[in-house]
Amino acid sequence: MRNWVSALIPALVAGMFANQAGAGEISVKVTLPQINTSEYHRPYVAIWVEKPDQSVQKNLAVWYSQKKTDKGEQSDKWLKDLRQWWRKSGRDQSLPMDGITGATRAVGEHALTFVEGKEPLANLPAGQYNIAVESAREKGGREIVRVPFTWPVKKAETAKAAGQQELGDIIVDLKP
């Protein structure tokens, strides 16, 4: 009995650490490129975890203007231009979404970190996913970039994809 218990304790301790090590992390670096145009508006951007069938597993971030325009129109008028996101998730949400929606961002690199067990990532079932980043810009274009990853993360790694016009590098750092 005693032998059995003492053998069990290290296993339990190891289990605790294993659990901690299992609090995986996804860091997403999104680069909004400099675009030379006479009238630049910051893009609307949606970032989400996408299942292989392209349905939305979790929304991670949505950047859009929540101010009314000078005509008094609601700015969510343009959310439909984030076409994929709008069709697959946006239209089902009540906006703004707590901890997910925020103001539009400037040109440059934006780093976001999502931790297992914490919103908005919370508990992500094991499987194959994409980090999807969609951008739509007033008087500009629209683009979607996908970076595939496997969950849970077994060893630290970096995955990367790049947009052609509306998005720069999308770098996904995965930590077990």
Partner 1 sequence: MKHIYTLVSIALAATASVAHAHGVWIAPSSTVLSAPQFVSFDAATSSVPFMIDHRPLVIDALNIIAPDGSKVTPVNVMKGELRTVFDAKLEQQGTYRLELLRSGFRASWKDAENKPKRFMGTAEALAKEVPADAKDLQVSETDSRMENFVTVGKPTALKTTGKGLELVVATHPNDLVTGEPVELTFLVDGKPTEGVEVAIIRSQSRYRNNTEEKTYKTDKNGKLKVSLPEAGMYWLDADFKDNKVSNKVAKERTLAYVVTLEVLPQ
Question: Applying CB under 8 A, which residues contact partner 1?
Answer: 73-74, 76-80, 83-84, 86-87, 90-92
Burial of 21-49, coded b for 16+ CB within 10 Å and e otherwise, reads eeebbbebbbbbbeeeeeeeebbbbbbbb
Nearer to partner 1, 77 or 154 (CB): 77
Minimum Å gap between C-beta 55 and partner 1 is 13
Minimum Å gap between C-beta 79 and partner 1 is 4
Nearer to partner 1, 78 or 129 (CB): 78
Burial of 62-71, coded b for 16+ CB within 10 Å and e otherwise, reads bbbbeeeeee
Residue 117 and residue 25: Cα distance in Å, rounded? 10
Nearer to partner 1, 6 or 94 (CB): 94
Look up residue 145 and give its two tokens: 């970039």
Minimum Å gap between C-beta 34 and partner 1 is 26
Minimum Å gap between C-beta 86 and partner 1 is 6
